[in-house]
């Protein structure tokens, strides 16, 4: 991961544990998608309840693994939006 954004120099290097907050985005979106699509698919007669349950279980295992990078990005963007910090300091510049 780059230490900062090339375009706006937003700092990507955060304290240990900072990105644990991305779990909120990852879990929240996973739960929201399953809560919305499971009843829709169930009542539309798309498949048997057991097949849908197995599909939802597979989705709940696979989707967060795929989405975790995007969840981290969303968490970082959320933090920068709620607590703007300005650009990262230049490394190797005079004064260090
Ligand atoms: Zn940027």
Confidence at residue 87, expressed as pLDDT on a 0 to 100 scale: 65
φ, ψ for residue 4 (rounded to 5)? -155, 165
Q: What is the value of pTM for the model shown?
A: 0.75
All residue ranges of the chain with pLDDT < 50 are: 93-96
Instruction: Give the whole-angstrom CA distance, residue 81 versus residue 70.
Output: 16
Spatial separation of the C-alpha atoms in residues 59 and 53, rounded to whole Å: 10
Task: Write out pLDDT tens, residues 1-17.
Answer: 788 888 888 888 888 99
State the distance from the centre of ligand 1 to the C-alpha of 52, rounded, in angstroms: 40
Compute the distance from residue 7 Cα to the ligand 1 centre, in Å.
Answer: 5
Angle at 42 (CA atoms; ends 67, 57), nearest 5 degrees:
35
pLDDT for the residue numbered 29: 97
Q: Is 17 helix (H, G, I), strand (E, B) or coil?
A: coil
Contacts of 18 (CB under 8 A, 6+ apart): 79
Ligand 1 centroid–CA 31 distance in Å is 29
Q: What is the pLDDT of residue 96?
A: 44
Separation of 73 CA from ligand 1 center, angstroms?
Answer: 11
The residue extents of the domains of the chain are 20-82
């Amino acid at each position: 991961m780059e230490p900062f954004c090339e375009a706006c120099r937003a700092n990507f290097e955060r304290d240990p544990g900072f990105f644990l907050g991305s779990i909120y985005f990852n879990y929240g979106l996973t739960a929201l998608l399953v809560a919305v699509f499971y009843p829709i698919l169930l009542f539309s007669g798309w498949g048997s309840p057991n097949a849908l349950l197995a599909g939802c279980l597979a989705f709940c295992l696979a989707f967060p693994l795929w989405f975790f990078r995007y969840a981290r990005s969303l968490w970082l963007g959320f933090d920068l939006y709620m607590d703007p910090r300005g650009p990262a300091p230049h490394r190797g510049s005079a004064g260090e």
